[in-house]
Structure 1
Amino acid sequence: MKRTIYTVQATLTILLFFAIAPTANAQLLKKLGKVAERAAERTIEKRVDQETSEKTDQALDSILEPGSGRSSKKNPVPQGDNPPIENDDSQISSGNTSGNSSLPNSTGNQNINIYSKFDFVPGDTPIFVDDFSNEFIGDFPSRWNSNGSGELVTLTEHPNKWLKLLPGYNTAYIPDVTNLPEEFTLEFDVLATGLDKKTSSQSYIGIVISDNNTFKKGANFGKVEYSFCQFIGRGVVVENNIASKRVIRNDVSADIRNIVNQKHHVSVAVNKERFRLWINESKYIDVPRLLPANVQMQGIKFILRGTDTEKESVLIGNIKIAEGGVDLRRQLLADGKISTNGILFDSGSANIQPQSMGIIRQIYQVLQQDSSIQLKIVGHTDADGDDNKNMQLSQNRAESVKSALTSIYNVSSNRLTTEGKGETEPVSDNNTADGKTQNRRVEFIKL
């Protein structure tokens, strides 16, 4: 009751004040209006300053290059072809540290329908295949070179072993490959940990195709880098040198923040001068003349820059370099048969990995072009495991390819037959990783 009385008294007092003092009331309202106006102005100024600062950073990021003199407090960017790498040990197990990973798995149960328009076709003659399976955790992989450091690690939620890239100015990671053919493909998986809204706009992983496989900046190279930045979509940078002169340098807009924050698959196709790059099922780069004409490319280099050593790590794995990657459709029509190890399955399983859909799509296009064609799909495995299980596995894998053609591309099942041959017809040595890769293949034979 007392509170009600006080409220009524206060209300009457305010009304009486405005009733007997209209001049004071007007002055008070005027002052209040000015205060509100100044507060609004300050808010607008603060927001404009913030947005201007962000736009300025973006502009500087797009025009400044490594070695231009601009540096980050966390991570200065040096001159040279290979900028620094920084990372962190959290959520990773190695020979010297232990821990658990909480990284999400982006591809484990991904529906292959998403890849139905994927047009990457991997090479069919392996040059270099490395999943680090024969290496020791904590070591640097034996078939690679670096002018910095690195180590093999495992992660709880992701199988196999991963090369963890460690910091160092002008650091490069170079697989033992030379004399690259004119047409080849490169594939690998990437995991990044510790990314957040503070991840630098200068954090990039890069792939360099160079006229040397050393740590020197090549007179001729093509380079593509894509960003790990999370507070803004930085996209992809494409650059080259031809006869020691830069011809191309461009920032390609793309918002890949959600993609790089999860495990993702990178595919590269080099066809003479042409360079194409896919991340998962999407193509981001297709430059007709990125690489120089009539110059022998000698090496592939992985580089990293701009990540925070305190909290971020970048890891690569499942690397495959193969000669070829050309149009399989013409080969099938001309020869009546093709054999490919580019259709990948989960280990010990008939589940098709989504990045295999480029080849299956080309098979569909052949069947679509000529409705009279019928095909036999033959599955093959390597020699690991039980012979009888491998025979059944090869049959199941052939059936999975048939199912993809019928369910995704609506090919009549009457035009397709399947067969499994297990490990009975090897085409290479089952004692090496490269040989096993060649033996794990699928054949398509015109009937």
Structure 2
Amino acid sequence: MERIKRSLQWILPIFCLFVGLQEVNGQFLKKLGKRAEKAAERTVERRVEKETTEKTDQVLDSILEPGSKGGKEAKSPAPNNKPVENTKVGGSETSKNSGAANIPNSSAGAGKKEIAIYSKFDFVPGDKLLFFEDFSDEFVGDFPSKWNTNAGGEVVSVNTSQEKWLELISGYNIYFIPDVPALPDEYTIEFDILTQGVDSKTSSTAILRIDLSDDDKFKEGENFVQASIPFCQYSAIGITMENRINSKREIYSVVKADLRDEILNTPHISIAVNKQRFRLWVNEEKHIDIPRIVPEGEVLKTLKFHMNNFKDGKERVFITNLKVAEGGVDLRRKLLSDGKISTNGILFNSGSADIKPQSMGIIRQIYQVMQQDQSLKLKIVGHTDADGDEAANMKLSKQRADAVKNALVSVYKISSDRLETEGKGETDPVGDNSNPEGKSQNRRVEFISQ
């Protein structure tokens, strides 16, 4: 009997422990069950969301591109970050050290879908050209003659593009200042960005800053507006906006924006300043629209670029096709009042009739006029600069006029019998074909009321 009592003294605690463990285990399993149930719910939600998105894309594709099968468009590949050892530009050979970059030209060959995506793009460039720079007259390896800096930088070639680019250098208090005339009250700024070596390790503080300043040298100034475009890839940083009025900050804000894919795929930046109002687009999307950030009056005369926190030699940033133009006039009213408008804001890929999608702001305004006045008929006239063969330019100008007509018909559903096209090639210049600014003025499209 004593032996049984001693055994029970050992067995009872173990039994109680076992029962307790069973209870704890049961609670644990119950929690696991709830977590599994929630995980299953999330999986179902994600699957439903994915399938819904795919179906929505198919419907949108069928609307924007009649006859398409609704397949999703693949993402553009990230740029190739391998440097080029040797690239020939204009008959001269440049070495790796001269800054040649093996980066695809992602702006080439804009398709119908991309054009359709830009159908609500409402940026309209100024109509009086103040400055244009594509570095076509500059030697690769040199700092461009129409710019100033307190550091360095050079013009480089890109082996898959006919364009040249200015490579900007990152550093403390370093500025790149184009020789733009004093900025007026209302104007627009456009340029393209190219990157190399930007990846998941790029700093969250790596930015390209666009400055409008009252200082024409290498200081921020007492009055300025700054827009900082982020290059970070591991997080969506947002666009930082800041100003000073008489050395006093009035606005400092970070506007939510995920630009990671855009930064890797040659984004087009558009800025419109209308007195105190500042707007900024990245490709077709407007991210900034601040009504009173610019100091009143014609105070901010100078455009500057500044880069910060990029790794030297690894992360490289380039810009080209910088265009500054006065105005941003409402072309709709001008067409209705004058019966004719001419614009160099409709852009094409070099040597082709492929419309660059950022041109859709102007084409959209033409559509709005034709929608308002159903009796209006237009002649669309294309013009080129004098580069290349005269007969080829004549043909190209007609093709470009036809491309504009096709955009109005296919994207905005304007009846084709309301539109007539003509090409004049290089025969009717309005600018000097011996310099980039004049060539840019000559590459234009006219709309004439019939």
Q: Cα–Cα, structure 1 residues 334 and 145, in superposed 2: closer, same or farther, change >3 Å?
A: same
Secondary structure of the residue aligned to 2:162 is strand
**Residues 358-381 of structure 1: CA deviation (Å, up to 9, x unaligned):** 000000000011111111111111
Matched, 1:316 2:319: yes
Give me the whole-angstrom Cα distance separating, in 2, the residues matched to 1:100 and 1:30.
Answer: 69
Q: Is the 8 A contact 2:127 2:329 kept in 1?
A: no
Q: In the alignment, which residue of structure 1 is the partner of 2:409?
A: 406
Q: Is the 8 A contact 2:244 2:250 kept in 1?
A: yes
Q: CA deviation at 1:163?
A: 1.0
Q: Cα–Cα, structure 1 residues 439 and 104, in superposed 2: closer, same or farther, change >3 Å?
A: closer
Q: In the alignment, which residue of structure 2 is the partner of 1:147?
A: 150
Q: CA deviation at 1:98?
A: 6.3
| Range that drifts further, 325-334 or 175-184 | 175-184
**Residues 71-127 of structure 1: CA deviation (Å, up to 9, x unaligned):** xxxxxxxxxxxxxxxxxx962676534665255726643421111000111112211
Secondary structure of the residue aligned to 1:307 is coil
**Residues 181-226 of structure 1: CA deviation (Å, up to 9, x unaligned):** 2111111100122222221111111111111321122111111112
Give me the whole-angstrom Cα distance separating, in 1, the residues matched to 2:390 and 2:146.
Answer: 30
Secondary structure of the residue aligned to 1:158 is coil
Q: Is the 8 A contact 1:105 1:157 kept in 2?
A: no
Q: CA deviation at 1:241?
A: 0.8
Q: In the alignment, which residue of structure 2 is the partner of 1:387?
A: 390
Map 1:5-84 to 2 at 5 A.
none
Residue identity opposite 1:311 in structure 2: K
Q: Cα–Cα, structure 1 residues 424 and 97, in superposed 2: closer, same or farther, change >3 Å?
A: closer
Matched, 1:366 2:369: yes
Q: TM-score when scaled to structure 2?
A: 0.78
Q: Cα–Cα, structure 1 residues 101 and 244, in superposed 2: closer, same or farther, change >3 Å?
A: same
Q: 1:276 aligns with which of 259, 279, 282?
A: 279
Q: Cα–Cα, structure 1 residues 108 and 212, in superposed 2: closer, same or farther, change >3 Å?
A: farther
Q: In the alignment, which residue of structure 2 is the partner of 1:251?
A: 254
Give me the whole-angstrom Cα distance separating, in 2, the residues matched to 1:256 and 1:152.
Answer: 26
Q: In the alignment, which residue of structure 2 is the partner of 1:228?
A: 231
Give me the whole-angstrom Cα distance separating, in 2, the residues matched to 1:389 and 1:167.
Answer: 42
Secondary structure of the residue aligned to 2:191 is strand
Q: Cα–Cα, structure 1 residues 145 and 368, in superposed 2: closer, same or farther, change >3 Å?
A: same
Secondary structure of the residue aligned to 1:389 is helix
Secondary structure of the residue aligned to 1:417 is strand
Q: In the alignment, which residue of structure 2 is the partner of 1:128?
A: 131
Secondary structure of the residue aligned to 1:159 is coil
Q: Is the 8 A contact 2:109 2:349 kept in 1?
A: no
Give me the whole-angstrom Cα distance separating, in 2, the residues matched to 1:330 and 1:29.
Answer: 85
Residue identity opposite 1:244 in structure 2: S
Q: Is the 8 A contact 2:173 2:219 kept in 1?
A: no
Give me the whole-angstrom Cα distance separating, in 2, the residues matched to 1:410 and 1:29.
Answer: 76
> Where do 5+ consecutive residues of structure 2 fail to align?
1-9, 29-80, 86-93
Give me the whole-angstrom Cα distance separating, in 2, the residues matched to 1:98 and 1:297.
Answer: 33
Map 1:282-321 to 2 at 5 A.
282-309=285-312, 311-321=314-324
Q: In the alignment, which residue of structure 2 is the partner of 1:341?
A: 344
Q: Is the 8 A contact 1:145 1:174 kept in 2?
A: yes
Q: In the alignment, which residue of structure 2 is the partner of 1:105?
A: 106
Matched, 1:91 2:83: yes
Give the total of aligned pairs: 377
Give me the whole-angstrom Cα distance separating, in 2, the residues matched to 1:181 and 1:235.
Answer: 28
Percent identity for Structure 1 against Structure 2? 53
Residue identity opposite 1:286 in structure 2: D
Residue identity opposite 1:109 in structure 2: A
Q: Is the 8 A contact 1:203 1:228 kept in 2?
A: yes
Q: Cα–Cα, structure 1 residues 91 and 366, in superposed 2: closer, same or farther, change >3 Å?
A: same
CA RMSD of aligned residues (A): 2.5
